[in-house]
Structure 1
Amino acid sequence: MPPSVTVRYWAGAQRAAGIEKETLSAGTVAELRDVLRGRPGLDRVADVASFLVDGQQAGEDARLQEGAEVDVLPPFAGG
């Protein structure tokens, strides 16, 4: 069974999710991205978001540990 992690949504990701955070199960960032792609509103965000795991930038192959905090960060515009 994949570990349970706290997923925190920021900016546009939070608006798309309709919540600030939730607990989900996934073994890697790639698996978590797939879970989010299956959710209405989050599908587009999941395709372009960056992920931080316990405050560190994480790639698709990053393994998730039980109790980790994963931040979902959509692209930010500005200048």
Structure 2
Amino acid sequence: WGMFTGFLKYKLEEQGKKLVKVDKFFASSQICSVCGYRNAETRKLAVREWDCPQCGTHHDRDVNAAVNIRNEGMRLVVA
């Protein structure tokens, strides 16, 4: 994994881009990507879909996590 990320960083720097790493403990699948509500029930890997009790949005676990990881990465770049 280290070699892969090193190679990726090198290639991105050649193109004038930056590799941003999100903390591995970031709760990407537990946070509603619409309103920010944190749902502790989604810690269980068996929960593949869930509805946010705060805003009512229906989430696919993986799609929601991907959106949250993208948003966190963008937040880290701006910060």
TM-score interval (norm. to shorter): under 0.3
Higher strand share: 1
The structure, 1 or 2, with the larger RCO (C-alpha pairs under 8 Å, 6+ apart) is 1
With structure 1 as the length reference, what TM-score do the two structures score? 0.28
| More helix per residue | 2
